[in-house]
């Protein structure tokens, strides 16, 4: 039978996860409760909910990222279809940006599978060494370390770690992540500090959630950030200027002077 | 200057709406606060936040909608790129589904521009008559009424109206929406009850938000619902069965028997 | 019955538009024949095929357009899912870029519905005046004129007109398009020369094809151009530089020096 | 410098691959010539062009595939943004459908790297055995064999092989693909005939093109097929029926009777 356990609909009622949407959910749950109920078929604990909020806030946005640029450039061509601009902004959430939280969670969960929750620091370091070696052998990157801008350390990581500790989710995956950073620095001479992706991978591992949700939460959070960018783009458009700026990098291109635009 | 007021980044700090993301936002705000701060450059009031949660919960999901089907069919072909499946599910949020909340808000805000907040019922009915007539003249649909499944009335609407009342957002746009329903029923003999789209259009109007946000909130909420569908699809896939089901509708198609699948 | 007339499949045969794909189409038709057969359920005439090739070549590409930028920025985040980068590049084909060929064709076909094929120049000018006035009254743009870069005239238009003439497709829609340009210049004092969008709108009208195909052909042709950009991006990536370039426009952003990169 | 070698634009001229688009390309080249010039910076040989046409025709379409279904379901919600429906249809071109031609080409090119062009049949079989074993060790699928519908053999493959032979592109990659089929059948007792994906992977290898182009050509060809589906959907919509059909599979769903619709 083709069916979903998420919900069903009759002429008079909508049921989501066994509850009457209109009478039991709308106005009674907030969005994060509803999202987690829909995904996991149970309400989140308070501390889980704080962590999911933490991840969504991290994902939301901070300035002109490639996803915000794609969304604005798409909106420039199709302002009547804002959903297409949001979708374009999400499509880059792959193995290099945003979506890489899933790869990071997979790497940590795989590597820490045999690690005891109360493993010694030395055991965790050993596990980190193995994880780095295994990734190299498979010619796969180590996800979750280094950042093109925050080269001295990602400023979000200490807060993400602290909130994880406060809520009881600083476990073996977080410890492994820190051990990977340490092995890179002290044994391999490489400055590759943990980034937000690695922190979220560790959180997903320590919350015992599926890696797919790591990528998924980034998409939900980023959708909100893209909405903010498109809201601003509508009032103060910069899409055309982005295009002009890029064209003028190649001196063979020639564009007419634009009145009232800063390019 | 090409810039955004949303935020900027230095090597050591990320600033969003003038706040230090790591020290002032992460772990201190929840997702809806963060979304609204990013969009509006101010924190929402408590009652605004309740309404935004209400809209996001409405948008989240309820079963195998066209957006959930597109997402699952996309995941079937590209499970390694879940962001593409979420994007595919959002792309139909146009003038017929989901995105139509924007059209509904635009219609109501345009139509009620000259209507006083304390207008008489008769004045609101007049406004509804004008709105219907104007839309017909422009050959545009009246957004926000009727539903392909909930033909006797959308079960979400009474709750959406009640929560709006409780929070002080049942104003002239909601009244106009009800008046439109009434004119259709009593003066034109048409059973076109308000649907969730119309309710959200009215809420956006009465919250004095931009119509673009009506569509945007649906995208954010639906992203969460799509995540739930893809999480289920990964564990209990139905994508191939959906395909088989559709193929077998046309007797010219012939597909081999599949073991262990119910189509 | 849920079915498509495009084709069906049995265990041993694939049928497209009534033909055996393997025995009658593969290796016997070229791509444009196949596309037109699939769409129209008939093979194109030679002159139709020349025109469709003309449109696809026009759509293909020419440098760093917003669609190429979106595609490259998406590829930067998700190189393992190149389909997402192509999709992101197509998503801006709306009412402002590319997709606007559909709007242009609709405008011309609507406006010229009552115009005789051999109408006098004066009648065509009248029709142009009416079209401009009607669009203004509806607060809709006149599609197909003006260009942000080619301010003295779009260099593609004379060739598109000439090839149309050679193939017998320079009819009343082309004449109307030229008349619109003339009315703007001589009667309204506005320099708004026909652009490629207007030319393609006119061609679609004079080929008696549906406006939807105008947008559709642009998508097919542009998909090829985006493929070229992503092929180059893979070998000589500029995505990260695009990001750095944009960030450095706002002096509040600070990015580290990158070795071997020109930003 | 941020630049592309594909083309550039001045106020009066568009240059693509060093040629004047308006004077040297439009009306002089057909679409496949233009696509290959744009990608490879050279015109294709006649026999290359025949092969590219062959691949594009293969990719075009054949009935209600998951990509066609996603596109139609997206169009149902957003008919005003047809580009979004085409994009939704392309987004599933990943490691399972369509995009898997890239994986197939990569597998064959990697495996045959050391194989001489005139290797003995036994050497090719050895190479096939190694390729299968290596993929298993890496827990990766063998791409290009088996089909959910064409269980006795993909009817397109003999034609694809024949046209490859006629044009001098039946080389070591095609031979390896056939050897893989043979090893599965005779040594492992598995009926996994070559499918169109494997054939296209072999063609790309024997044409000495990059694997990325295998996926890319599928996207271009499929864009045309999706256009045909959306053209039909506009005139004879089945999107709503698809939804109703799926809902009625789960007896908990209840939908009203629809007049004049066959579900």
* % chain B with pLDDT above 90: 91
Contact A99 C78 (CB under 8 A): yes
Among A75, A84, A248, the strongest candidate for a mutation testing the D interface, having the largest count of D CBs within 10 A, is A84
Contact A79, C95 (CB under 8 A): yes
Q: How confident is the model at residue C1 (pLDDT cuts 50, 70, 90)?
A: confident
- C19: β partners: C16
Q: How confident is the model at residue D263 (pLDDT cuts 50, 70, 90)?
A: very low
Contact A87 D84 (CB under 8 A): yes
Please, what sign has the CA dihedral across residues A53, A54, A60, A66? Answer: negative
Q: What is the pLDDT of residues C143-179, one digit of tens each?
A: 999 988 899 999 999 999 999 999 999 999 999 999 9
Nearest to D10 among A80, A87, A253 (CB): A253
Q: What is the pLDDT of residues A143-172, one digit of tens each?
A: 999 988 899 999 999 999 999 999 999 999
* Per-residue model confidence (pLDDT) at position C259: 52
Q: What is the pLDDT of residues B142-181, one digit of tens each?
A: 999 998 889 999 999 999 999 999 999 999 999 999 999 9
* % chain D with pLDDT above 70: 98
| Residue B152: count of CB within 10 angstroms of its CB | 11
Contact A74 C70 (CB under 8 A): yes
Contact B30 A57 (CB under 8 A): yes
Q: What is the pLDDT of residues C178-215, one digit of tens each?
A: 999 999 999 999 999 999 999 999 999 999 999 999 99
Q: Min CA distance, B145 vs chain A (Å)?
A: 15
* % chain D with pLDDT above 90: 91
Q: Min CA distance, D1 vs chain A (Å)?
A: 7
Q: Please, what is the average pLDDT of chain A?
A: 95
Q: How confident is the model at residue D262 (pLDDT cuts 50, 70, 90)?
A: very low
* Per-residue model confidence (pLDDT) at position D258: 65
Mean pLDDT of the region B103-129: 97
- Asked whether residue B138 carries a pLDDT value surpassing 90, the answer given is no
Among C17, C244, C252, C258, the strongest candidate for a mutation testing the B interface, having the largest count of B CBs within 10 A, is C252
Which one-letter DSSP state was computed for residue A43?
Answer: P
Distance CA D203, CA D190 (A): 24
What domains lie within chain C, and their CATH numbers? 1-44 (no CATH), 55-234 (1.10.230.10)
ipTM of the complex: 0.96
CA nearest neighbour of C81 among D38, D68, B74, D210: B74
Q: What is the pLDDT of residues D151-168, one digit of tens each?
A: 999 999 999 999 999 999
Q: Min CA distance, B81 vs chain C (Å)?
A: 6
Which pTM value belongs to this model? 0.96
* Per-residue model confidence (pLDDT) at position D148: 85
Q: Min CA distance, A242 vs chain B (Å)?
A: 7
Q: What is the pLDDT of residues B18-70, one digit of tens each?
A: 999 999 999 999 999 999 999 999 999 999 999 999 999 999 977 899 999 99
Q: What is the pLDDT of residues C60-78, one digit of tens each?
A: 977 899 999 999 999 999 9
Q: What is the pLDDT of residues D108-152, one digit of tens each?
A: 999 999 999 999 999 999 999 999 999 999 888 999 999 888 999
Q: How confident is the model at residue B259 (pLDDT cuts 50, 70, 90)?
A: low
* Per-residue model confidence (pLDDT) at position B260: 43
Residues in chain D: 263
* Per-residue model confidence (pLDDT) at position A259: 52
Mean pLDDT of the region B106-116: 97
Q: Min CA distance, B252 vs chain D (Å)?
A: 11
Q: State the first-to-last Cα distance of chain D, in angstroms, to the nearest integer.
A: 58
List, in sequence order, every beta strand (DSSP E) within chain C: 7-9, 14-16, 19-20
Q: How confident is the model at residue A261 (pLDDT cuts 50, 70, 90)?
A: very low
Q: Which chains touch B (3 or more CB pairs under 8 A)?
A: A, C, D
Q: What is the pLDDT of residues B176-235, one digit of tens each?
A: 999 999 999 999 999 999 999 999 999 999 999 999 999 999 999 999 999 999 999 999
Q: What is the pLDDT of residues C28-56, one digit of tens each?
A: 999 999 999 999 999 999 999 999 999 99
Q: How confident is the model at residue A47 (pLDDT cuts 50, 70, 90)?
A: very high
Q: How confident is the model at residue D74 (pLDDT cuts 50, 70, 90)?
A: very high
Q: Please, what is the average pLDDT of chain D?
A: 95
Contact B84 C80 (CB under 8 A): no
* Per-residue model confidence (pLDDT) at position B172: 98
User: Torsion over CA of A211, A217, A220 and A225, rounded to 10 degrees?
Assistant: -120
Residues in chain B: 263
List, in sequence order, every beta strand (DSSP E) within B140-220: none
Query: How do C14-16 and C19-20 pair as beta strands?
Result: antiparallel
Contact C96 A74 (CB under 8 A): no
Mean pLDDT of the region D171-177: 98
H or E element, residue B241: helix B239-247
Q: Which residue in C has a C-alpha nearest to residue D79's C-alpha?
A: C212
Q: How confident is the model at residue C260 (pLDDT cuts 50, 70, 90)?
A: very low
- Asked whether residue C3 carries a pLDDT value surpassing 50, the answer given is yes
Contact B156, B54 (CB under 8 A): no
Contact A160, A199 (CB under 8 A): yes
Among D90, D138, D250, D257, the strongest candidate for a mutation testing the A interface, having the largest count of A CBs within 10 A, is D250
Contact A244, A261 (CB under 8 A): yes
* Per-residue model confidence (pLDDT) at position A263: 32
User: Torsion over CA of D138, D143, D148 and D154, rounded to 10 degrees?
Assistant: -150
* Per-residue model confidence (pLDDT) at position A65: 94
Nearest to C4 among D14, D83, D229 (CB): D229
* Per-residue model confidence (pLDDT) at position C263: 32
- Asked whether residue A126 carries a pLDDT value surpassing 70, the answer given is yes
B205 alpha carbon, distance to own chain's centre: 14
Mean pLDDT of the region A96-115: 96
Please list every residue in chain D whose beta carbon sits closer than 8 Å to the beta carbon of residue A11: 254-256
Please list every residue in chain B whose beta carbon sits closer than 8 Å to the beta carbon of residue C134: none
Phi then psi dihedrals of residue B74, to 5 deg = -70, -40
């Amino acid at each position: 039978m083709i069916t979903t356990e998420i919900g069903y609909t009759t002429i008079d009622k909508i049921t989501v996860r066994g509850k009457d949407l209109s009478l039991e959910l709308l106005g009674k749950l907030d969005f994060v409760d509803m999202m987690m109920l829909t995904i996991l078929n149970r309400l989140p604990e308070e501390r889980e909910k704080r962590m999911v909020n933490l991840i969504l806030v991290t994902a939301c946005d901070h300035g002109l990222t490639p996803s915000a640029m794609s969304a604005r450039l798409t909106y420039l061509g199709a302002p009547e279809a804002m959903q297409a601009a949001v979708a374009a902004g999400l499509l880059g959430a792959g193995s290099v940006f945003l979506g890489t939280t899933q790869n990071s969670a997979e790497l940590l969960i795989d590597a820490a599978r045999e690690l005891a929750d109360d493993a010694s620091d030395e055991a965790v370091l050993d596990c980190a060494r193995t994880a780095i070696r295994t990734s190299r052998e498979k010619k796969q990157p180590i996800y979750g370390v280094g950042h093109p801008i925050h080269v001295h350390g990602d400023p979000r990581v200490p807060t993400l770690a602290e909130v994880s500790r406060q809520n009881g989710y600083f476990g073996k995956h977080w410890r492994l992540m820190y051990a990977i950073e340490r092995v890179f620095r002290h044994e391999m001479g490489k400055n590759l500090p943990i980034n937000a992706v690695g922190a979220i991978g560790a959180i997903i591992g320590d919350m015992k959630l599926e890696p797919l949700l790591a990528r998924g939460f980034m998409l939900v959070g980023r959708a909100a950030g893209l909405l903010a960018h498109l809201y601003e783009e509508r009032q103060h458009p910069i899409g055309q200027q982005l295009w002009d700026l890029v064209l003028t990098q190649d001196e063979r291109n020639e564009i007419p002077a634009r009145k009232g635009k800063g390019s």
